Structure 1
Amino acid sequence: MTREQVVREPMWAAALMGAGFVLAGAGAVAGTSWLLRLVANWLVTVPGMPVPAPVRIAAALPEPWVTIGALAVGALGGLVVTFVGLHESLTVTVSLEKVVLTRIGSSQVLEGAAVQGAFCEGKQLVVLGRYAEELAREPCDLREQRLAEAFGRHGYHWLDGDPYAGEFRRWVPGTTALPPEANALLQARREALDDKDAADDVRELREELARLGVVVRDDKTRQFWRLSRLPGVRSAGGATQPGRIQNKL
């Protein structure tokens, strides 16, 4: 067994993505520039047509410098999109001792003894803890087969899906089965979900709910919740329920 296994997007895929975005950006901007200049050149030839100054300037710009500039601007835009994609891409490092989820500028370390298993849910990687809590839920474009191999090779359970999916209920304000503080946090989180610039707030509120033993997942702006088996956290029926996953092999 290898000491650790790293699952990341291969370099050729990143290079291919970058080349695709650069070419697409350059082509889109150059094509748009050509079309606008074509219209501008036509407008200045129409007798009696009042032509705004910006249109006259566009028609008078020299070639091939306009096309070269448009290609450069489009290529630069493609590079920016590529950098954003690489910044958001997830790298997963799996070993007997820990599971590390890394993006450029941030890293989350999960102790191996705390990990029960993991699965992919759509485009998200979910890591479950020993008490049925979610240790991590991260956007992930990595191939599920590679993740399953890495987790399984190091003794973690790779699951076909969420073993607790049937326990999720849709949240409505004032739900009495939740810890007292949870409703206020879920209300704040619902408002944050409506704000596209509040992604950090959404994540932080999820973490606060996790500390209360509340697991939450989203369907657009709708929130669904269940309780974990953390010590002291009780189900709606008042009893702490046993977990369903065996301990790490």
Structure 2
Amino acid sequence: MYQRNETVVSEPAWAVGLTWVGLPLAGAGAGWLLQALAGWLADLPWIPFKGPIELLASVADNEPLATIVSLAVGAVVGLVLAFIGAMETLRVAITDSDVTLRRGDAKQTVNRSDVRAVFVDGKQLVLLGRESEELAREGFDLGADRMRDGFLAHGYPWAAAGDPHRDEFRRWVPDDPELPGSADALLKARAKALEKGEKTDIAELRSELGKLGVVVRDESKRQYWRRTHPTSG
């Protein structure tokens, strides 16, 4: 029976377990501490969220209910944070035929035959296509060495020196006449999205620029761009 030879690069099991156990415990501890200090905090004139803290202080003497509730609420907050962290974590599954990048419910699969180069750009994993277009660019907190070893184990072209086209990028300035079509308008919209931290718009506008043959990378909310290298066949 055929078995799919797959290498998965993701958070180790111990780190996942620590997150799901540690954050609820830390949340419960924080909830208990807040309940214990509620009376003192409520007397501070400059304290934020004064209403909820005064409410907590008013029931602080109702033991053991106050302690039970504060522990439970803190643990739930910790679980919510653990869930958000899990949804934001990148999981990369690599085989000889394709690579699948999954983050939460979002999934992208790229065929091995379409990949011309793989590299790490800061804290981002980048896959380039045959025309130097970006097939994928995903932020990650996983070890770069593990990522490299996973791709090399399946024969992917790993660019150890980083982006082979890095010297082609130029800083975007509004109304650059060398930009094709509506690329300048897209970059203007994307600059606003970067300022506001709107991740969905940032990603969608990157995709739209890619359709115009423009690759964009960011440095401290500054945009740099280059053209792709169309091939004849």
**What amino acid is aligned across from residue 71 of structure 2 in structure 1?**
L
What's 1:32 paired with? 34
Q: How many residues align?
A: 220
What's 1:22 paired with? 24
Give distance in 2, aligned partners of 1:29 and 1:57: 13
TM-score (normalised: structure 2):
0.86
SS of the aligned residue for 2:116 comes to: strand
Q: Does 1:143 align with 2:143?
A: yes
What's 1:241 paired with? none
Relative distance call for 1:38 and 1:192 in structure 2 (3 A) is closer
Contact 1:117 1:157 in 2 (8 A): yes
Unaligned runs of 5+ in 1: 44-53, 233-249
**What amino acid is aligned across from residue 185 of structure 2 in structure 1?**
A
Give distance in 1, aligned partners of 2:208 and 2:67: 52
Moved more, 218-227 or 2-11: 2-11
* Superposed displacement of residue 80, structure 1: 0.4
What's 2:51 paired with? none
Contact 2:59 2:66 in 1 (8 A): no
What's 2:188 paired with? 187
* Superposed displacement of residue 122, structure 1: 2.2
Unaligned runs of 5+ in 2: 45-53
Q: Does 1:111 align with 2:111?
A: yes
Any idea what the Cα deviations from partners look like across 1:200-247, whole Å, max 9, x if unmatched?
A: 111111001011111101123211111111348xxxxxxxxxxxxxxx
Contact 2:115 2:128 in 1 (8 A): yes
Q: Does 1:129 align with 2:134?
A: no
* Superposed displacement of residue 192, structure 1: 1.4
Contact 2:118 2:159 in 1 (8 A): yes
Any idea what the Cα deviations from partners look like across 1:78-112, whole Å, max 9, x if unmatched?
A: 10010011111111111121111112211101111
Aligned ranges for residues 55-74 of structure 1 at < 5 Å?
Answer: 58=58, 61-74=61-74
SS of the aligned residue for 1:131 comes to: coil
SS of the aligned residue for 1:177 comes to: coil
What's 2:48 paired with? none
* Superposed displacement of residue 66, structure 1: 1.2
Give distance in 1, aligned partners of 2:62 and 2:73: 17
Relative distance call for 1:154 and 1:18 in structure 2 (3 A) is same
Choose which of 10, 13, 20 in structure 2 pairs with 1:11: 13
What's 1:178 paired with? 179
**What amino acid is aligned across from residue 19 of structure 2 in structure 1?**
M
What's 2:163 paired with? 162
**How many percent identity over aligned positions?**
46
SS of the aligned residue for 2:218 comes to: strand
What's 1:246 paired with? none
**What amino acid is aligned across from residue 172 of structure 2 in structure 1?**
W
SS of the aligned residue for 1:158 comes to: coil
Contact 2:115 2:129 in 1 (8 A): yes
Contact 2:39 2:57 in 1 (8 A): no
